[in-house]
Amino acid sequence: MSKRISILGSTGSIGRQSLDVIAACGMSVAALTANSSVGRMEEQARRFKPELAVLVDEKAAADLRVRLADTNVRVLSGMEGLMEAAAISSADTVITAVVGMVGLRPTLAAIREGKRIALANKETLVCAGQLVLEEAKDYGAQILPVDSEHSALFQSLEGNKDRGEVKRLILTCSGGPFYGKTREQLQGMTREDALRHPNWSMGAKITVDSATLMNKGLEFMEAMHLYHMPPEKIAIVIHRESIIHSLVEYCDNAMIAQLGSPDMRLPIQYALTWPKRVPGPATPLDLWNCGPLTFGTPDLDTFRCLALALEAAKAGGTAGAILNGANEAAVAQFLAGEIGFLDIADKVARAMEKVPVVRDPGLTDILEADAAAREAAR
């Protein structure tokens, strides 16, 4: 069970919910990091009294240093600061809740210190899953999933000793805000439309990924890496209600699932308390009033990002890094109002055509694939 925690991305959706759990469970905070949210970081630092607070943006960090001058909190900036927060000696656990591939190097730094990794930052596994898991094995670092589907799979796999008994992993997918729409209808969808998720309140990037269904594609690859499963042993089912968070189907056709309210504080907490369970702040599920549970098939023709991600999952090597790099660049452009909703998939497809896949990649190959894909998407 975790006692002292460092949070990478503490001002975001996962970061703030992590602090709720930490407060409720009586854990302490060693370090907090964000990009530039100076006001929110000041508040968090005053309340949780970490040794270290990091803002990657230099100007915001200088401002924070002035604001926290009356405290004992050390303030750092830049990637160096992020790396120091990831490796800080007093923390036993690092929650990786930054958004995007920028989380890769700090995650590796935390792994090399043998920390427990409560992993929310799925982009790191999509880009460099093999590398991350090999390092975790070498350094004896546990990786515990924060993503709700992967936490559900983790919980549904507890007690399973022989992975040969697993027939397949089934990821549930809410379908996002645009479920049931045609390509013609998707054409005109704006940033505001995409940011209205029916079940979850999350950061902007993952909310857009949930609208394109790229999020489910990234999660497909995340599950392959975390549970050592080939793509043919992972399936996706549309489940609009987000009550069943994912399932494992065993060879005798038994299905084991984890259910709960759509509340990220539960998977965050379990990543911190495993192998124990303790009372926590997550909303209980009221089965008697939650309504019927429904299931369906994802529409891969309309939601091309999911089809592209499944292609990348099968291709392996740097294909995940190419898909992810292009998607990060395209989503940033969509959020800035520069491109339309359907252009996101076009840009990802173009990058996948243009950038060659490297097999058994090292860190340099992955970083190069990421850069080339971003360039191709621009």
- Which spans of this chain sit near ligand NDP (rule: CB under 6 A)? 9-15, 34-37, 56, 97-99, 102, 120-123, 147, 200, 202-206, 264
39 vs 188, beta carbon nearer ligand NDP: 39
Residue 216: contacted member of ligand NDP, Mg ion, none (CB under 5 to 8 Å, by partner type): none
Selection from ligand NDP, Mg ion, none that 95 binds (CB < 5 to 8 A by kind) is none
Say which entry of ligand NDP, Mg ion, none residue 34 contacts (CB below 5 to 8 A, set by partner kind): ligand NDP
Residue 41 CA to residue 7 CA, distance in Å, equals: 12
At a CB cut-off of 8 Å and minimum separation 6, what does 358 contact?
317, 318, 365, 369
Of 47-55, 143-151, 313-321, 330-338, the window that binds Mg ion (rule: CB under 5 A) is 143-151
Residues 6 or more apart whose CB falls under 8 angstroms from that of 122 comprise 147, 218, 219, 222
Residue 149 or 328 with smaller CB distance to Mg ion: 149
Number of shown-chain residues binding Mg ion (CB under 5 A):
3
Angle at 155 between CA 140 and CA 279, to 5 degrees: 95
Q: Is the dihedral of CA 61, 107, 281, 238 positive or negative?
A: positive
In the complex, what is the shortest distance from the CB of residue 9 to ligand NDP, in angstroms, rounded to a whole number? 3
For ligand NDP, which is the closer residue by CB, 17 or 156?
Answer: 17
Virtual CA dihedral for 227, 232, 238, 242, nearest 10 degrees? -10
Residue closest to ligand NDP when measured from CB atoms: 12
Shortest distance, position 222 Cβ to Mg ion, whole Å: 9
Minimal distance, residue 185 CB to Mg ion, in Å: 25
Q: Identify which of residues 167 and 281 has a Cβ nearer to ligand NDP in the complex.
A: 281
CA dist 306 to 3, 16, 186, 197, 243, Å?
38, 29, 15, 17, 22
Torsion of CA 243, 301, 179, 244, to 10 degrees: 0
Does 249 bind Mg ion (CB under 5 A)? Our answer is no
Residue selected from 42, 51, 92, 147 as contacting Mg ion according to rule CB under 5 A: 147
- Cα–Cα distance, 81 to 86 (Å, whole number): 9
What is the Cα–Cα distance from 140 to 114, expressed in whole angstroms?
6
- Separation between Cα atoms, residue 64 and residue 319, nearest integer Å: 39
Q: Taking the complex as a whole, how short is the minimal distance between the CB of residue 30 and Mg ion, in angstroms?
A: 26
Q: Considering only CA atoms, which of 97, 44, 105, 96 is closest in space to residue 78?
A: 105
Q: Tell me how far, at minimum, the Cβ of 83 lies from ligand NDP, in Å.
A: 11
Cα separation, 37 vs 55, whole angstroms: 8
Residue 84 or 149: which CB sits closer to Mg ion? 149
Residues near Mg ion (CB under 5 A): 147-149
